[in-house]
Structure 1
């Protein structure tokens, strides 16, 4: 038996899944795929994703568990003996397929699911909308921290409140003097090769990913993915990875993609003046999120110049370059240059050249496959 993770209507998560599959989104201390793998350590994981990601799916005639990339498990599924669809809070979250035909592409998932009548409620969370990542992130950091088998690694003198058992610092992480950890409401996990510079405060539950640098930062109940550079204030956010917010400013209740650069004093709003629910537009439809505090969603490779002001509930595409400061539009499609009296398309070759430079600064070479992803997204923007 094997597990197959499949993308589940990824178009409803644009622009934050333009450059990686839905199951690679971060929540808590892991990606969605890593969270699923934790509950099935002896099972092989395969993936069904959009063709642009070139996943090779090997057909095998054996019972297979298909799980949606929107499913965040919090316990292992007790498997039935017959074909069954799995349900979380009324949402289809996957199915067990026992006999052929076994779906091999996204187009085959929904018909296979609809042909299964037996239903089983399972335990977990369902990411129905992108803002659910922000809604559930704090709880997932707490759950993931509890699953760590390593002992508490505090081999140095640190300043903290709460329980020392709620702090994990990797052996090769560097924590300077005048760093403060607040674990009264949740744990703090500091991953490998992290550097935390003086006058930084981290309030749990928070996860700081491998290779990230915090410099005079205030990180509140957030997930910071690998190799980010963070300064100023970050509250209840997810940074997917490789992004910079290194200066003063505030980003709150937001999802920031990869390779994003946020200029000095850039600040977003995560609360409306009338305290009503934040509304967000995805595609042609506007949604009431049911959340009073919600910031912005920013796609990969977007650059925001100094002094940018981001409105509540903003959705900013990939490869957006906004400069000149001041309030930016609430909705910006991908591959746009915006500034004072300027709005034009981001030229493809210029975008690729910029990406090559940015990645090289982190010791990463732009691969032909990734360049093709850029070309695909530009063509289909």
Structure 2
């Protein structure tokens, strides 16, 4: 059976993080959404997403196909309902399509606007759906716990050095982990330490927490629960209820709370974000689909930073700041609450960050991770640059 994770009509609500990836490539918990489905279904997957992303994230259609909404995180209830679908049946929640089973011809003709053609089955159990960027950190603690059980079931953890202090017993250590003179408190949730990850001396970690493969915690880091540090990323300072995707760096002192950083981001030393307004009011976030600030319903909401964005030392982010793809921030004062994609500057003003200069930087950064910044990546970023031009009218 072909397993196809599709982005639906609500994808625009997840910009700017969704500019550079299908929604199923968001990391929530320990795993990305696509990695979760692969494990639950014990199958490879393919993607149905925006045309400009399909070369990097290809689509494969077979004789029998299961379409699954990429914004949904799997659980046993959802898995059972999807597994029971017959050809032509659609699992829905109100007007939202969760899953659909189609033959080869039906799959090639699949269209979100033609739901009336399928036999609908209403899904009534609770579910986790990533509908807005802030859902990533809001659901992260729950998803760490689910992923921890999924990954560690029936396995035996490696051991940590006796120089560390462990409170509770919900810790799993993969092979190659290095950790010395640090504390791990699992009483409020599990702690997962991925393969070849490093915890330098003097770190204090509270669960639920995930340090993914080859990620690094710098000396003296203070990590509160519901936090994930993605593969090959570096983290330091004070972090609370935040998700850092792969290959990013927040390696110095400074606070990051209730936030999401995409891939290839870099946070300068002593940079901080506010995650609560002084008047305790509801936080609003920039919404690309409405081109206005949207109410989140949250009192705590910090920074949403898209791929390849960077900030210099001592940057101060206001509560509910959205930073677009490849934005580069520096200078004194608070930058605006929405920093357009491919912007260069700060509180004193912005100019356009040209594609050629951005490509030069991206190539240098990629080399540091032994990854090629190839033509496919350049075409994706070029398309995003053109898509977001209307926001860069400085």
Q: Indicate the TM-score class for this superposition, using the shorter chain for normalisation.
A: over 0.9
What's the CA shift for 1:99? 5.1
Aligned equivalent of 2:191: 188
Which residue of the partner structure matches residue 34 of structure 2?
33
Q: Is structure 2 residue 221 aligned with structure 1 residue 217? A: yes
When structure 1 is superposed on structure 2, of 361-370 and 135-144 the one drifting more is 361-370
CA distance in 1, matches of 2:350, 2:85: 56
- Counterpart in the other structure of 2:392: none
Match of 2:45 in 1: 45
Q: Equivalent residue for 1:359? A: 366
CA contact (8 A) 2:4 2:59 kept: no
Distance of 1:327 and 1:319 partners within structure 2: 18
Per the alignment, residue 111 of structure 1 pairs with 113
Structure number having the greater strand percentage = 1
Match of 2:348 among 330, 341, 356: 341
Residue in 1 that maps onto 2:18: 17
Q: Which residue of 2 aligns with 1:277?
A: 282
TM-score when scaled to structure 1?
0.92
In structure 2, the residue matched to 1:240 is 245
Q: What is the deviation of 1:81?
A: 3.5
> Given the alignment of the two structures, is residue 120 of structure 1 paired with residue 115 of structure 2, yes or no?
no
Q: Tell me the C-alpha RMSD between the 2 structures.
A: 1.9
Asked if the contact 2:190–2:207 (Cα under 8 Å) also holds between the matched residues in 1, the reply is yes
Residue aligned with 1:366, SS: coil
Match of 1:312 in 2: 319
1:130-145 mapped onto 2 (5 Å cutoff) = 130-145=133-148
Distance apart, 1:141 and its partner CA = 0.3
Paired with 2:197 and 2:283, the residues of 1 have a C-alpha distance of 34
Question: How far, CA to CA, are the matches of 1:300 and 1:244 in structure 2?
Answer: 12
Question: What stretches of structure 1 move > 6 A for 4+ residues in a row?
Answer: none
Is the Cα contact below 8 Å between 1:84 and 1:120 reproduced in 2? Answer: no
Shift of 1:295: 0.8
Q: Distance in 2 between matches of 1:158 and 1:123?
A: 42
SS in 1 for 2:45: strand
Secondary structure class of the residue paired with 2:113? helix
**Alpha-carbon distance in structure 2 between the residues aligned to 1:136 and 1:179:** 27
Shift of 1:371: 1.8
**1:8: which partner in 2?**
8
Quickly say closer, same or farther: Cα 1:18–1:118, change in 2 above 3 A.
closer
Closer, same or farther: CA 110–196 of 1 in aligned 2, 3 Å: same
Structure 2 residue runs of 5 or longer lacking an equivalent are: 389-394
- In structure 1, stretches of 5+ residues that fail to align are none
Aligned counterparts of 1:91 and 1:158: Cα–Cα separation in 2: 54
CA distance in 2, matches of 1:37, 1:343: 42
Secondary structure of the residue aligned to 1:140 is helix
Asked whether the 8 Å contact 2:63–2:104 carries over to 1, the reply is yes
- SS for the counterpart of 1:199 is coil
Count of matched residue pairs: 374
SS in 2 for 1:315: strand
Whether 2:84 is the aligned partner of 1:77: answer no
Q: Give the structure-2-normalised TM-score.
A: 0.89
